[in-house]
Structure 1
Amino acid sequence: MISPRTRGRMVLRLRAAGIRDERVLDVMNQVPRHHFVAQALAGRAYELVSLPIGYGQTISQPWTVARMMEAILENNPIPRRILEIGTGSAYQTALLAELGAEVFTVERIGPLHHHADKVLSRLGYSQVHLLHGDGSGGWPEQGPYDAIVITAAVPCALAPLYRQLRAGGRLVMPVEDRGKQHLQVSHWDGHEALISHLGDCFFVPLLAGTVSLASGEC
């Protein structure tokens, strides 16, 4: 259930479900998802489902992760620098690094941050930089970025994040509106964002009490 053959079958199911970017499919065939879940759940790692990782958080289902990566890459070369808000299990972190990007990732839950650091180090992802803290304001000291990915549902695109994007960059995130969620990609030209919707989704919410959410700066 955790063999490369099983991982290959997951990739075939992703292709059948509409994932087309070969770069995305290739890295999902390379990264062992079972290393990013609890041992008791390893046998389910290559199902197209989300799984609990503790602290009220989940590892997102593979199709959703793949679709977000496609949104970053669509008609674009691989971004050199990517900011990920919400490290979580670090599975998506590893996939972004496997693409060849330098990844900066922020996690506010201490045990998840420390576990992600151990897993990524063990698997040899030296181009990943981790920060324990509130990711709603991004990581401005390391910007600008070619792409930003948020892995928890937010009510809007947080304004500080656009200021950390290069012109031509993309912000991919789940947005919650009136109790429903959809994936959204914002194409940033340096002044305005052209927004596209990518379909329905379900993510845990960005934790309340952050500076940007509390101030309503959208």
Structure 2
Amino acid sequence: MAGMTIGLVLDLFGTFFFAMSGCILAARRKFDIIGSLFLGTLAGLGGGIIRDLILGTVPSAFNNPLYFVPPVLAALLVFFLFHSVQRFQRPLLIFDAGGLALFCITGTVKALSLGMNPVASALLGLTTAVGGGVLRDVVANRVPQLFNPDDLYAVPAMLGSALVVVLWSAGIYGTAAAMCVAAVVFGLRVVSLHYGWHIPHAAPARYTDRND
């Protein structure tokens, strides 16, 4: 029961962080409050819904109305405090990093708890982590952060999902382990943003610099 409780708490915080990123983007795009709520909900719940549909289960958001509280709270906070939030450097990316760190954990754990194999579970953890952000950016007519060639986005989530699989398989996954994994993923994401780290491009620059 304790595991279920911490899982729900992590899910709700992850939903809130991603919802904040969606609502901030909506404010920047000058959407109205309904558009902000929709984009926040899409960002916060989209990845989990995709995961649950793949797993063949009723999405958690439709089983528990608590999942809709974070997007509403995020929309209200951005509406009243947008200028204060904007004072922080890269607020959208920081909230996005928080959601990424938590969702790669909860998505992987849910898949493992339903009997999925380790590789599939890690992939579903990654899907949970990046799915909402991709939907958010596409709907807002923005190139998804996942496809930014000069950014690490999926890599921290991949690492987090893999760590969860290892800890779960070793029988030492728990609240403390989850917090450590979240800290590693969030830290790697934030540090990569600060230093501009990225992985090799799909093709060397000498081939991609030419016009099509």
TM-score, with length taken from structure 1: 0.30
Larger Rg: 2
Q: Which has the higher helix share?
A: 2
Q: Which has the higher strand share?
A: 1
Q: Which has the higher relative contact order, 1 or 2, with Cα contacts under 8 A spaced 6 or more apart?
A: 2
TM-score, with length taken from structure 2: 0.30
